[in-house]
């Protein structure tokens, strides 16, 4: 454990939401269930504050480490800890969980206790994924996340929810099977250990690295999702309840990109260098293709879902630029996308509760009908296009720096991607806010209530904070990024530009 603490703080943070699930058994009043879920998520954030406040930003080493023998004869440990990258996603997971409770307050009226149990269970799994320092433990959390998300979409989703939930499971499970085969092969090749620090020190042959990288790539690329493994995402987003869409956008897509950072790059450095250019090309395709397809959408929620394919293309391009600004931008954009797209899905959910339609053809004139809603929606739309002063601006800027540092052929297509991204968000804003108010919805509209405003204010604060002071996040991750790049340069015989 970290010297500053004599108690297992990370384990408490990981498993505290399960206590909330247990306590729900004794509550019959549904409002009390909602309050308990909210208090549990807030308590988890409060308990974790010492981790964030006492985190040492001057080192790349894992901190607050806990290690206990779990399955000794297989050399499997319950080992958790956080470094400058993972600690940011633990915080993001907690923020997203609180917002999901708030945004579901009135939207979920059936099986309320079960729904909030899924959110709290999901919070435990998400935090566990980012804290796991044992590859076997990581895989357990990775697979477990399928269960609550499958149920969330399949039970509380909209019309085509069964198809979307099954498609989500089939895609992600197919990738996970290949990753499991890779994990087993790596276990024997690395001297029968699952410890990620020891695995990163193991010298593997180039052929084995390539095979292992591709096995991991299948799982991580589907989860991101990268082109052409993206087709499950629009269906899952569209049919999921609002909280499910927020968790998908805010955290689940990031787990795939996090897998590249935590496992593929440090364990397979030479394969990473060898295969980075094909991945850069796939990322550029995702950015431009995703933007064009987004322009064609007529469903409010589906449009934002397709935009995620383009935005996550920026993330993977930044990561696989394999230079300091690119990695900074890629990781920062993971956080930015989680906040901004999560907020947009929250807005869509709030307006859907009033109009019960997502068809853009019936929207218009919201600027006059619901001005408070439009105030928040405007900020989130500006952040989505990377307007200066918002969090996405600095993230996209760093990704572009990294891409142009890699080469003009890599960086130049981003200009088109950014132009298309601005186009579809401005076009969407015009249709929803500035045109004439349609008769189909004008009698159903009423502005945001206090709970909805309270749920959106923290995201506005974080968007502006990271927009004007990105060092708040960058200072956490910088040493870990330097260490990763140094590790790749040191152990690889392939040159890194």
User: pLDDT tens across 282-337, in order?
Assistant: 999 999 999 999 988 888 888 998 898 998 999 999 999 999 999 999 999 999 99
Question: Is 4 within the bounds of a domain?
Answer: no
Question: What stretch of H or E contains 268?
Answer: none
Residue 401 lies in a domain: yes
- Kindly state whether residue 397 falls inside one of the protein's structural domains: yes
Is residue 3 a part of any domain in this protein?
Answer: no
Tokens of 213: 């990288």
Residue 40: band (very low, low, confident or very high) from pLDDT cuts 50, 70, 90: very high
The pLDDT assigned to 191 comes to 85
* pLDDT tens profile 161-206: 888 888 888 888 888 899 999 999 999 998 899 999 999 888 888 9
CA gap 390, 385 in Å, rounded: 9
Is there a domain that residue 497 lies in? Answer: no
Percent of the chain's residues with pLDDT above 90: 63
| pLDDT at res. 250 | 87
* Domain total in the chain: 1
Taking a C-beta distance cutoff of 8 angstroms, is the pair 314, 398 a contact?
Answer: no
How confident is the model at residue 1, as a pLDDT? 46
pLDDT at res. 496: 55
Quote the pTM value. Answer: 0.92
Dihedral over alpha carbons 465, 93, 272, 223 (to 10 degrees): -120
Closest CA to 102 of 339, 345, 451, 376: 451
Give the pLDDT of residue 492: 61
- The answer to whether residue 379 sits within a structural domain is yes
Q: Is residue 375 included in any domain, yes or no?
A: yes
Q: Is the pLDDT of residue 120 over 90?
A: yes
Q: Which is higher by pLDDT, 406 or 139?
A: 139
Our CA angle for 90, 194, 187, nearest 5°, is 140
User: Do the Cβ atoms of 389 and 257 come closer than 8 Å?
Assistant: no
Domain containing residue 396: 9-491
> Residue range 355-368: average pLDDT?
86
The residue among 64, 67, 59 whose CA lies nearest residue 48 is 64
- Rounded Cα gap, residues 336 and 3, in angstroms: 32
Q: How far apart are CA 276 and CA 410, in angstroms?
A: 12
Predicted confidence at residue 367, as pLDDT, reads: 84
* Angstrom distance (rounded) from CA 294 to CA 424: 7
Cα–Cα–Cα angle for 373, 451, 387, rounded to 5 degrees: 40
In a domain, 356, yes or no: yes
Q: Note the pLDDT tens digit of each residue in 436-451.
A: 888 778 777 888 899 9
Q: So what's the pLDDT on residue 494?
A: 59
- The string of pLDDT tens digits covering residues 6-38 is 789 999 999 999 999 999 988 888 899 999 999
Terminal C-alpha separation, the chain = 38
**pLDDT tens digit string along 264-273?**
999 999 999 9
The per-residue pLDDT of the chain, averaged, comes to: 90
């Amino acid at each position: 454990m970290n010297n500053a603490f004599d108690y297992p703080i990370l384990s408490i943070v990981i498993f505290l939401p399960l206590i909330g699930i247990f306590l729900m058994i004794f509550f019959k009043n549904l409002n009390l269930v909602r309050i308990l879920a909210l208090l549990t998520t807030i308590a988890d954030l409060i308990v974790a504050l010492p981790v964030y406040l006492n985190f040492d930003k001057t080192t790349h080493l894992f901190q607050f480490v806990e290690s206990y023998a779990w399955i000794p004869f297989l050399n499997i440990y319950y080992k958790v800890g956080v470094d400058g990258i993972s600690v940011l996603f633990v915080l993001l997971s907690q923020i997203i969980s609180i917002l999901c409770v708030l945004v579901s307050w009135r939207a979920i009226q059936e099986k309320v206790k079960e729904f909030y149990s899924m959110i709290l269970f999901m919070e435990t799994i998400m935090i566990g994924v980012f804290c796991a320092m044992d590859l076997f433990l990581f895989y357990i959390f990775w697979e477990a996340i399928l269960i609550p998300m499958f149920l969330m979409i399949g039970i509380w989703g909209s019309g085509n929810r069964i198809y979307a939930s099954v498609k989500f499971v089939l895609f992600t499970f197919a990738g996970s099977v290949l990753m499991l085969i890779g994990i087993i092969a790596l276990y024997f090749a690395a001297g029968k250990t699952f410890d990620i620090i020891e695995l990163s020190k193991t010298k593997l042959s180039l052929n084995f690295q390539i095979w292992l990288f591709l096995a991991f790539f299948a799982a991580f690329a589907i989860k991101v999702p990268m082109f052409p493994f993206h087709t499950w995402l629009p269906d899952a987003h569209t049919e999921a309840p609002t909280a499910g869409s927020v968790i998908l956008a805010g955290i689940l897509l990031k787990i795939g990109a996090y897998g590249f950072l935590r496992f593929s790059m440090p364990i397979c450095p030479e394969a990473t260098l060898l295969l980075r250019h094909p991945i850069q090309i796939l990322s550029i395709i995702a950015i431009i293709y995703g933007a064009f397809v987004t322009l064609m959408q007529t469903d409010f929620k589906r449009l934002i879902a397709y935009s995620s394919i383009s935005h996550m293309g920026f993330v993977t391009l930044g990561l696989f630029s394999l230079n300091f600004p690119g990695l900074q931008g890629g990781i920062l954009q993971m956080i930015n996308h989680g906040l901004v797209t999560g907020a947009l899905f929250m807005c869509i959910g709030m307006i859907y509760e009033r109009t019960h339609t997502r068809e853009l053809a019936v929207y218009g004139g919201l600027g006059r009908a619901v001005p408070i809603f439009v105030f928040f929606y405007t900020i989130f739309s500006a952040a989505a296009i990377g307007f200066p002063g918002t969090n996405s601006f600095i993230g996209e800027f760093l990704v572009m720096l990294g891409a142009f540092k890699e080469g003009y052929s890599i960086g130049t297509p981003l200009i088109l991607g950014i132009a298309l991204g601005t186009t579809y968000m401005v076009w969407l804003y015009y249709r929803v806010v500035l045109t004439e108010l349609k008769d189909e919805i004008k009698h159903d509209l009423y502005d945001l209530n206090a709970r909805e405003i309270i749920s959106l204010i923290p995201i506005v604060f974080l968007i502006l904070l990271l927009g004007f002071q990105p060092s708040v996040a960058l200072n956490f991750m910088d040493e870990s990024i330097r260490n990763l790049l140094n590790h790749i340069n040191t152990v690889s015989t392939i040159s890194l530009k």
